[in-house]
Every structure is written in C-alpha cells, then in structure tokens.
Structure 1
Amino acid sequence: MSRTRLLKSTKVTATCDFDVVVVGAGPVGLVAALLLAKQGISVLLLEKERSIFPLPRAAHIDHEIMRIFQSIGVADDVASSSEVSTRYEFLNVSGDVLMRFDTGRAAALSGWPPSNMIHQPSIEHVLRARVAECDSIDTRYGTAYRHHETCGEVVTVHFDTQGKASQACCRFLLGCDGANSAVRANSGLSLVDLGFSERWLVIDTKVIDSSRLPRHNLQICDPERPTTSVRMGAGRHRWEFMLKAEEDEDRVSAPAFVANLLARWDVDGAVELERTATYTFEARVANDWMQDRVLIAGDAAHLMPPFAGQGLCSGIRDVENLTWKLGAILAGRANTSLLFSYQTEREPHVRAMIDLAVMMGKVVCVTDPDLALARDKNLIETRRASGDASGAIPNPKLGTGLLQATSNIAGELFPQFTHKGSRSDDLFGHGAWLIGESIGIDGNTLGAAGVSIPSLSYFSPLVSQWLDDKGYNAVLVRPDRVIFGGGNAAELITAYADGLYQEARVVA
C-alpha cells in the first residue's frame, strides 16, 4: 500500500441524499448494498445495464460466502441453483493425479459445504429480488456513473440515465464496478501487474445428459493444450482451453474449432453449446483501495486467475469486511480511521489467494513437453511421499488490523455451529458478539461498541466445547465473524472499543 489520504472526523454535518452510493450491481455490489441495508444504512445502487447479463461467468463460491449469503437471507435460494463440488483434481495427460483437493459435502467451518459450483445469472436474480424488497436501497438500473468529487465529508456522485444527467451526495462512495472500474480511474487509483497473463477460450454448455460428463472438477495439465473441465450450477458445464500464441480469437470461437476441442470429451448430444468467450487470465491488485471517502472492492481492487475459484469469493469478502465498518462509522460507534484497516486486512488475504491461483496456474499452463514431464515426476513423487494425501483450499487468517495482538486466535473465522438443521448465526443475530463468560460486563459499554451477548440456547454445549478446545473463557467476534480476540471479557470489550476509535493516521 503506497499511500492513503487522511480521513476526517466521524460525524458528517452536511445533509446527504444517501449514506452510501454503490456503483455496480454485479454480485459484489448487490451483496454490499444488502449488507449495508440490514444495518439501516441508506444506499443508492447504480448499474449501467438494465438487465442481468444472461450467460455464466463466475463458477465457484465457498462456505464462507454461503454464510454471508445466509446473513442477507438468500443462502437457501442460492443453494437451490448450485451444485456441491466434492473433489478437484489436477491430472497429467496420462491421467495420473498431480494434485487433489477433496472437499466433501459435510458442512465446513462456516456451516455450509466447502465448495459450491454456481450459475452467476441465477445468483444475480436472487440478489436483485432481495434488493427489491429493501426500502433503504434505491436501485437505478440503466444508469451510468460518470464521475465524482469529494468536498470535506461529502462525496457528490454524477450519473446519467438515458442521457439525462443527475447527481446525488453521499457520505461514502463504493466502487464495485469491475476490472475496468471508472470509480477507480476517477480516484487516481491503479492496478499493479503481478506477472501472470494467459489467454484462454471458455466454452459454457447446458447439460442434457450429466452421466456422460466428468464427476469431478478437473485440470488437465496437457502441454499440448492445458484444459479445464468444471461442473457448474443450474445444469451447466464449462470447459476452458488455453490458447496458443498464434491462435486468433475469431478463429478459436468458430463452431468447427469448438467442436474439435470438445471431440476428445465425447459429449456430442450430452451438452448444448451456450456461449464461447476468450479471456486473458491475469493477476493484478490495486495500489490503494481508498481515496478520501471513496473505496473500491471486488474486481475493481484485484484480479486473479480462476484456478482456485476465489475471484468472486474475494470480492464478497471485501464488502463483508468493509460494510460493517461503514455501519459502525455511520452509527457514531467508530472513527473514520477504522477504514484504514480495510486494505490492511484484506490485501494480504487477497494476495494469498492470488498466489495460490497463480501457483495452480503455473502447474496447469506448462506447454514445454520436457518441463511438463519434470513437473509430473516431481508432483507424483511428492504425492507418493505424503501417502497420496489430498489437500484443501486454505483460508488464511487475518494478520493485521482491528485484532487483539496478544490472542493467537485473533483473525480466525469464528465457526458457525449446526444442530438439527439449525445454524447458530440465525439465533445469535447481527453485529458483534461476546461469547462465553460475561459476568459483570456493563450493558451500556457493550451497546456503545455495538456488541451483544447472544443467547446460546441449544448451541451452548457446542460453544462451550469450542471454548475449552481453544483455551479461552470468552471471545469477541466481529460483525464479519472474524475473531477479534480471546481472554478476559472486560479487557476484550475495552480493547475492541478502543480499536474502533483508533486515532486517524497516514499509512505509508
């Protein structure tokens, strides 16, 4: 992070039309608007397209994202159009396993299956329907953001609808407007290239006979033509083929070329072609994610290759991290300097996901036959030495930010417990939680920090066992379900409240 502008005081004296303007109504922008609305924050949501792009794009979300969907009341609807993925394999051209990630169907830490294949248009329909139910979200589809200016504590956003210019003022502007973000560009922010760029042809199909398709998600590490095969939600299947330097995009999208690529999979009659598209898979991250009261999230802040399935996940994690902090500031419970923790917490996590995706991509994208043989030998021997062990997609904990420095569990996700079909988040409610011993804690102190002591009910034995296993009497859980820290309850509350009001500073 190279520079961050100094933010001013918590309170805004000028009258604003909205608390927050969100630009971009893809999944990240829609989730951001819903997370803000559930805190009673007024939102103007701007989207240049009138209707949902009808074809698939993102293909995967993990258990943490399903938990966030649960918090905004859409998880069951999302699950109904998704397919749980239980295995992800990297194979060489002979079919030998180079890497394997077993995820299974059992609920993960967040109370949902670890790996879920999606159909993005179906998810956007669900999210748009939920947004339409929220009185505090003013949605303008077919409306293009043009530019903005910041004056003190107010951001004025200019936009137009069918050529008619309008403007609105807000306390914060959030750019969720994708890889070519106009909000990012108008804020003087830019993406830094992390050194990965490969062209691929994506072929999306509708499934007619799933019995003829691979059961698991695959990377075929064939030096002649690296290939991806993934099952998707809503009855779709995707293939991706790495393009050669001399291959023209128009040529590779021709029906005969596509049919030839799919011929080796013997799926004629098993699938129906839905679309083809060429993409350049890249790794990039913004130098700064905030300028004054303007912030960026999702693809506006970072891009990563798709091999780890963490692109959309990372964008939704961004707004989960950011929106509760905006809520605390707008409610007067925190200083605007809390926003400095947005990038310090999220960027290392995003970079870890980019590193993982690039590592996977470098395994897949080897086109030199001799190097491919050496890769195969090394990875096969590594698997044999470990007893053919299967890995799992890691979820690194947060390392810096609004966290208790002395607690070894600070930055980890707090688990969601399940009991007879019920999930603990639904019972515990929104906001921050103090879990465990809380005798003598002043209710006014809790309320001022936005912390509640939830009734554990039938989850009490599970929570008590978890606390015993971790060796703590109490933990404080942030609204994004990240553990602030563990230890003495009174000390936790004091440290958390102090953290919300940390002094504003310039981050070098």
Structure 2
Amino acid sequence: MPSVRELTRAAHQLAFSQTKMETSSERRNNHYDVIIVGLGPVGAVAANLMGSYGVRTLVLEKEQEIYKGPRAVAIDSETTRIFGMIDLDDWLDKHVGKAEYQILSGPEGRGWTIMDVPRPALEFGYSKIGFFYQPTVESTLRDNLEKYPSVLVWLGYHVVGVAEGSNGIVHVKTKFIGGMNEEVYTCKYLLACDGGRSSVRKLLKLKYKGSANPESWLVLDVSSKNEELHRKLSKCTYVIAGRNPYIHIPLPESCHRFEFLLNDNDDPQSLTQVDRVEELLGSIGVDVSDLVFHRRIIYKFHLRSAERMNVGHTFLLGDAAHCLPPFRGQGSTGMCCGIRDAANLCWKIALFVNGTLQPGSVVRKPLLSSTSGNEVTPGQVYFDRLASSYHKERSPHVELMMRHALLYGSLTKLRNPIATFVRDVFFTAAVQLPFVRRLVWEDSVKPAPTVVSGFIDDQSSATAGLLFPQSYVMVGGKRKLLDKALGCGFVVMGWEQNPKLLLNMDCQSKLTSLGCTFVTVFREQSSEQQSDYFSGCIAIEDTEGAIGSWFEKYKASFVLLRPDRFVFGHADNSLDASSELIGRFHNMLTKQKALTVRKPPLVLLKYVSKCKVATGIIVVIIIMCIILLLYAFLL
C-alpha cells in the first residue's frame, strides 16, 4: 500500500502534470538545471521566466496551499512590464485597481484635503501603480506554469541542506513535510525565493543585516458586499495626522486594506480584538456591520539585506535577499524588488544553460568562440559575469528604493503636532503650484529603474543601464506594446535604418548565435521602408513617438538592449561605432573585459538616512521652500 507521502507527491505531480518534463535518466540522477526554493510571487515569476526559456527547473515549496490573505497589495509599472515577459501583463492590468488617491490632514470631517490625485499616470504602457489581491495573482502565476513542460513543482517540500561541490554543482537536501526520509537533488543553479526567514540563507550562514522599525502597525484585511460602502471607500486614502494615522487601500474582489500606525501607549494585543477593531474603524466613519474580517495582525516592517546576494551558484531573491518598507508601492514584503531580481537573473542563467534565449531553439553547446579560437562553454565563460553582475546590478537599486521608501514613509507618520501642522500647511500650499502638482500626479519623484554598474557598456554613459521606454507600436498592421514585438532575447535596434547594415559579418554572426532579434523602428509606414532595405529585420512603426524621442534625446541611431530591456549601450550611425559596441559586448561576455563600475547616485539619500527623521524632513522642507521662493520670484 503506498504511503501518505507517496500519495501526496503523486497528487502534487498530477496537479502539475503539464509542467513535468522528466526523462528516466533525470529521475535516476535527480538533476535539474535550476532548483527554485519558494513559490510565492517572486519564486512563481522566476519559475515562469525559466519555463519561458525552456530551462529544466524544479520548484520546491513547503506550503501545500496558497496563503489566502493579501500581504503585498501594490505593484508598479516596472513590475507589470516583467509580467509581460510571461504574457500575463494584460491579465494583471485588468485585475489591478487603479484608484484615485487622496492625502488628508485628518479623518473625514476633522481635517482638510492636502492633495487629491486622479488615476495614476501611465508608464511603460501600464498604470504607474495598481493595487491587487495577492492570492489571485499567485494562483494565476501557478496556473500559468502548466504551459511550460520544462518546469516541475513539488508542494510540501522544505530544504534542510545545501552544499556546492568543487565542480559547481549544488546539492539540495529536501524533506517532505511530516515525512522521515531526506532526498538529495542536484542543480547547476539554486534560486532561494523563500522569504525573509529563508532557510537557504540560514544554511549558507549569511548575515541578514538591519533591524525592525520600532513603530507598530495594525493591519486589517476586510471584505464586504455592500456596494454603498465600496463607493464610499473607492479612493486610496492617506490620513497622515490624528491619534492613529492610517492608510486605506481599495483592493479587487471587494476587499479593503487598512493600516493604522499605533502609538507608544497602545496595547498591540488588545487592538487585534474584534471590539477594539470595530471601535477603531468606527472612529474613522466605517460601518463594520457589513465587513468580513480576513486578517488582523500587528506588523513591524523591517529594513534588512543579506551581506551578499549570491554564494557560488546559489542566489538570493526577494525577501531572502532584502526586506523593504511597505511604502511607495514596493509591497509590504519587497515583492516588486524581488520580481526585478528574478527578471535580472533568469535570462542570464537561461543563456548560460541553453546557449540561446529563443524558446524552442535550445542548443546546449558553446555559445561563442574567444579571440584565441578556443571554444568557451556557457559554464566556463559566463559564470563569473553571472555571479558578480547580479549583485552589482541589483544591490544599488534595492538600496536606493529602500532609502526612498523610508524617507517617504517618515514624511507621512510624524507624531509632533507642530511638525505635522507645518508639514500639512506646506504641502497644501506647494501642490497649488502647477509644476509641483505635475510632479505628484505623474509620480516623477520616484527613482527611475537603472543599472548603475554591471553588464553595461562603459562608453555609453548617457544610456547604458537605462530601462528602455515602451509604448504602443504598429507591427505588421497590428497595434501592440513594444516588448511583444521584440521577443525574449537580446535586441539590436536601428532608428530609421537597418541595424544589420551598421554591423560587419562577424558581429552579425556573434549576435545571431545568441538568438538576437534585429529591429528597425521608423516614424511612419511607407513603401520605401517596406523594401528590401529592411529585410531580415522586424519593422516597427513608432506611432506614439516615444521611441523616436528617446533616440533623438541621446543622439543615437543604434542601440543594443538586454533581455530585461535595460540598455547595454548605444552608437551613432557609423559602421565602426556600432561594430565596436558589439565588440565590447562580446569581450565582456568572454571575460576579456571587466564589468562596468560606476558610483551609485546615493549621496543625498545616504545623508538624509543617517540623520534623524526630523532632520531629514527639515532638509526636504528647506529645499522645497527654496524652490517655491524661486518660482514666486520668477513669476
């Protein structure tokens, strides 16, 4: 008679039968290209990305069910664009709330409106910020794995041991929850996406530096079928003064999130009791009679980061690598930054494992030949670049977002009555100025996603590391977002010319071996532009002008994009400049050229973060006052 353990595994494998791809030898050797530990949003996105590249992947998740309550609730346009890499951006964009939001100086009737902001602006073709219901997103990500035969998911398994051999193969010891026997699986790369309490990080003995914020928040997740209540609570609301400043966020599926900042003399345990919660909600005008409570917890957000984001062939992603404050749409557990981690890393692993980034074209053979003529295999050539570029590229941006979110949060949770009054009056006046109002409405104060150091061209300082713009374009008579036309690999793009004509045959050969897509972008369709001059390229019409504006801004005619759509570098319209760019790209891949190192733009934010919160706020207000005075003087 089969054991419970065997029956459970069989049930799990049956549930994911369409994602299973095991040969008899793989069952015997228990070896995979990649093992992912954790199937939360970050792990699920990583698994989908690996599946889209055809990488043989095993996912181990200790929980057998998706957590039913929302945790992270906000997602930004950059993260939504990553969902586009696995064809879930349209679904996600339709299932996120795009509510207007308001900032009030006190609960309704006891304060004034500091600012009222219409629906979020668009960026990269998506809403700059949206609010989602996490269980539904996780379920959709898991369902999407069914279309990838190279991905296998096992639920109910937790990792109890990790070791890397001298040959670079990672040995993962795992055990079924409630079982007695341990099993060992091997992989080329291990991705730890198992959260802030990461078992993999602990097994690696990596320090998780940082601390918990001393302030406590009461987090309430509720739902209701009362339509009148939903209309009343249709806006995302920040009440940044009063005894308990709070945030209200309307979520899809008739749900709402309330987060109350607690005072030092509040009893956290009593505040989770139903009667105290009802009293607190009643004090802000919310009728609790029609509410269903799904979660009532006391939460302290953490500011932590691992000392390193990888050890050998093991990589940390998401909360396993860093915990961010729950401000500025980064999700209560840093989900957005974690998904960016996955987008940065997965294409690199896929390239090194498969030898190409084109689905269905797995070659598993040497990618490039070095200038000496020696063949270089993916594992030999690219691993140093893979390991070092991941930390170099992700760590500065994570730190920047952490500091930005912390500064933003400090402005919204002041306690001193005089300081809060000054802040509220100041910002109420400031948003009356058109340029300030535009900054707020367009959310232009948020740091742009940028790769400061790493796998980027050191001679393209103006563009290297920028996230390339995305807008709607026309391709073959169909309107679609740019990324949908570019495929999933490297892209060489020419502005109103065939990029192949700017490259010698050797450069074209190197790019073709990597599965590179050649693209020509032009302003308007014409018979001349459809001629043989553009043969061998995807022809794209820039109907909205965003791409052309980018080329004109940086005086570029030729650009090389990475698979995550960050710019490697650009060149003008000369054969020499374009070929030299591809040469530097090739040399950086083959270790003949070091990764680019630049100083991150953190000087001011580091200064503010080292000051006391009050000092930081004073600095910001002084800067804003200077701007206001200059504006008034110019008028």
TM-score (norm 1): 0.90
- Name the counterpart of 2:468: 414
TM-score (norm 2): 0.72
Are the aligned partners of 2:243 and 2:263 in contact in 1 as well (CA < 8 Å)?
no
Name the CA distance, whole Å, in 1 between partners of 2:151 and 2:47.
Answer: 7
Are the aligned partners of 1:212 and 1:270 in contact in 2 as well (CA < 8 Å)?
no
Segment of structure 1 superposing worse, 172-181 or 491-500: 491-500
Q: Aligned partner of 1:30: which letter?
A: A
- Aligned-partner SS, 1:335: helix
- Name the counterpart of 1:104: 120
- Name the counterpart of 2:564: 480
Give identity over the alignment, percent: 29
Name the CA distance, whole Å, in 2 between partners of 1:195 and 1:26.
Answer: 22
Unmatched 5+ stretches in structure 2: 1-28, 356-376, 520-536, 572-576, 598-635
Are the aligned partners of 1:438 and 1:474 in contact in 2 as well (CA < 8 Å)?
no
Deviations 1:7-29 (A, max 9, x none): xxxxxxxx870111110000000
- Name the counterpart of 1:367: 415
- Name the counterpart of 2:36: 22
Matches within 5 A, 1:82-481: 82-85=96-99, 87-93=100-106, 95-98=111-114, 104=120, 107-108=122-123, 110-152=124-166, 153-161=168-176, 162-163=178-179, 164-193=181-210, 196-208=213-225, 209=227, 210-263=229-282, 264-269=284-289, 271-310=291-330, 311-330=334-353, 331=355, 332-333=377-378, 334-338=381-385, 339-384=387-432, 388-389=436-437, 390-391=439-440, 392=443, 393-407=446-460, 408-419=462-473, 421-436=479-494, 437-439=499-501, 440-442=503-505, 443-454=508-519, 455-460=537-542, 462=545, 463-481=547-565
Are the aligned partners of 2:174 and 2:183 in contact in 1 as well (CA < 8 Å)?
yes
Q: Aligned partner of 1:413: which letter?
A: L
Are the aligned partners of 1:198 and 1:242 in contact in 2 as well (CA < 8 Å)?
yes
Deviations 1:235-278 (A, max 9, x none): 21111011233434331111111111111233345643222122
Name the CA distance, whole Å, in 1 between partners of 2:581 and 2:233.
Answer: 50
Name the CA distance, whole Å, in 2 between partners of 1:220 and 1:275.
Answer: 21
Q: Shift of the alpha carbon at 1:384?
A: 4.8
- Name the counterpart of 1:11: none
- Name the counterpart of 1:7: none
The alignment's C-alpha RMSD in Å is: 2.5
Q: Shift of the alpha carbon at 1:328?
A: 2.3
- Name the counterpart of 2:587: 498
Are the aligned partners of 1:46 and 1:140 in contact in 2 as well (CA < 8 Å)?
yes
- Name the counterpart of 1:9: none
Greater RCO, CA 8 A, separation 6+: 1
Q: Aligned partner of 1:45: which letter?
A: V
Q: Which one has a bigger Cα radius of gyration? A: 2
Q: Shift of the alpha carbon at 1:295?
A: 0.8
Unmatched 5+ stretches in structure 1: 1-14
Name the CA distance, whole Å, in 1 between partners of 2:489 and 2:346.
Answer: 11
Q: Shift of the alpha carbon at 1:169?
A: 0.5
Segment of structure 1 superposing worse, 53-62 or 437-446: 437-446
Name the CA distance, whole Å, in 2 between partners of 1:301 and 1:148.
Answer: 17
Cα distance, 1:385–1:64 mapped onto 2, change above 3 Å: closer
Name the CA distance, whole Å, in 2 between partners of 1:182 and 1:459.
Answer: 49
Q: Aligned partner of 1:233: which letter?
A: P
Q: Shift of the alpha carbon at 1:197?
A: 3.8
Cα distance, 1:171–1:238 mapped onto 2, change above 3 Å: same
Higher strand share: 1
Q: Shift of the alpha carbon at 1:452?
A: 2.2
Name the CA distance, whole Å, in 1 between partners of 2:469 and 2:46.
Answer: 22
1:46 maps to 2:60: yes
Q: Shift of the alpha carbon at 1:112?
A: 1.6
Are the aligned partners of 1:434 and 1:489 in contact in 2 as well (CA < 8 Å)?
no
Q: Aligned partner of 1:282: which letter?
A: H
Cα distance, 1:423–1:159 mapped onto 2, change above 3 Å: same
Name the CA distance, whole Å, in 2 between partners of 1:299 and 1:496.
Answer: 32
Q: Aligned partner of 1:360: which letter?
A: Y
Q: Shift of the alpha carbon at 1:64?
A: 1.6
Deviations 1:80-134 (A, max 9, x none): 332124x4443322544556766635x41x2222111100000011011111332
